[in-house]
Structure formats: structure tokens, C-alpha cells
Amino acid sequence: MFKYYLAKLLKKLRLSAVRNSSVDATAKLESGTVFVNSKINKHSFCGYDCMIVNCRIGSYTSVASRVSIGGVAHPVHFVSTSPAFLSHKDSIKTKFASHEFLPQIETEVGNDVWIGEGAYIKAGVSIGDGAVIGMGSVVTRNVPPYAIAAGNPARVIKMRFEQDVVEALVRMRWWDLPDTELARLGPLFNNPIEMLKSEGYL
């Protein structure tokens, strides 16, 4: 038992690396995660050992461990893709030229999204509100709201709800409600149709 708690403590002590980013006071980044030029909103969390670059993450979103979102591009239209010919600082020291190339391609992850462990989300992709990304998926194109996408490359395998329920949830935007309202509605969250009817969305 002691070894278990010691290992857990050592894992936590690694901390997370955050640069030029905004992390809401109610959000959490687990240790080992690199979070650069990004934003994560209220009550969202990111698991261990994630790499998140140039990304906007909504509220109430759950990102599992070892997820990669966004990143930087290499110049495939140059003679070489190597940073040895680029102006910005990086992991190598040798420079044969200093061409400017550092596009900031932003990735959007909506509200109430669940991204499974080990998923890869390509830079520039948009993940809609309420979507679910399966474990180990490679997402190369946009995922619509409340879709469940999985695979390599990821594709939509089903929708979480019927279309009228999806449309009602998108209109309601419950993630924007104050905590007092969510405390009132919380007991109905296991029954989407009843909750939406109670608020006049269905």
C-alpha cells in the first residue's frame, strides 16, 4: 500500500507545464501535461501526460490521459521540413537558414466533450459540443455536436441522442448556466428528455 501511495505522489510531483495559457480556477491539469498557447474553461479537466498546443477547450469537458491536441506544422512546401532551415527556436541548434514559418493553427474543443485516453486531435479540427472521441482515435476532421467518433482515422459511429434532443441541447447551452441553476437541474441530468421538457426546450 505504501508503494502505491508513493508512486502516486511522485506522479503528482511532476506538475504540469503551462505557458502563455489561461486555465480557469475551477479547471484542472494533471501532472506531466504540457499546455501551451491554450485556454481551458470552467469545470473542465485534462488527464496525465497530455500535449495541448494552440487549443481552446470549453466548459465541463473531460480530456483523458496521454491525449495530444493541436501542435505546430512543418513546411511541407519547402525543400526540407527540418527546423534547421527555420527562424524560430526549437530542439536543435544548427541553422542553415532562418525562414519564417510558424503558423498558429487553432483547434477548438467544445463544451461537455469527452476525449478518451490516447486520442490524437489534428491541429485545426473542431470538436462540437457534447461530442465523444473514442480511446486511441486519430481525429483528422471536424466532429459535429453530440456525435460519437472513433477509429483511425476517426469517423462518426453514432449520435448520443435523437436529432431533436441534440438540437434542444445545443439551444439550451446548459454549460453557460450559473452554478445555482445547475444545482437545481442536476437531479434531472440522468434524463435528458425530462430535463429539456422541464425547461421548455422540447
User: What is the predicted pLDDT for the residue at 8?
Assistant: 60
Mean pLDDT across the chain, nearest whole number?
Answer: 91
Under CATH, to which class is 10-160 assigned? mainly beta
Q: Give the Cα-Cα-Cα angle 127, 171, 134 (nearest 5 degrees).
A: 25
> Is residue 145 reached through a cis peptide bond, with omega within 30 degrees of 0 on the bond before it?
no
Question: Is pLDDT of 113 > 60?
Answer: yes
State the pLDDT confidence band at 71, using cuts at 50, 70 and 90. Answer: confident
Q: Which residues are catalytic?
A: 74
**Residue 195: Cβ within 10 Å count:** 20
**CA–CA gap between residue 117 and residue 129 (Å, rounded):** 19
Q: Are 34 and 55 in contact (CB under 8 A)?
A: no
The pLDDT tens digits for 119-177 are 999 999 999 999 999 999 999 999 999 999 999 999 999 999 999 999 999 999 999 99
Q: Are strands 147-151 and 154-159 parallel, antiparallel or unpaired?
A: antiparallel
Half-sphere exposure of 66 (CA within 13 A, CB side): 7
Q: Are 116 and 62 in contact (CB under 8 A)?
A: no
Burial 102-139 (b: 16+ CB within 10 A, else e): eeeebbbbbbbbbbbebbbbbbbbbbbbbbbbbeebbb
DSSP letters for 65-100:
TT-EEE-----TTSS---GGGBSS--S----S--B-
Q: Is the pTM of this model over 0.85?
A: yes
Region(s) of the chain under CATH 2.160.10.10? 10-160
| 93 compared with 13, residue with greater pLDDT | 93
State the pLDDT confidence band at 88, using cuts at 50, 70 and 90. Answer: confident
Beta carbons within 8 Å of 35's beta carbon, 6+ residues apart: 16, 17, 18, 19, 21, 23, 29, 46, 50, 52
- Based on its alpha-carbon atoms, the radius of gyration of the chain, rounded to whole angstroms, reads 20
User: What is the predicted pLDDT for the residue at 96?
Assistant: 86
**Residue 198: Cβ within 10 Å count:** 13
3-state secondary structure of 139: strand
- Phi–psi pair at 163, nearest 5 degrees: -60, -40
**Residue 153: Cβ within 10 Å count:** 12
| Spatial CA neighbour of 150 closest among 171, 136, 164, 170 | 136
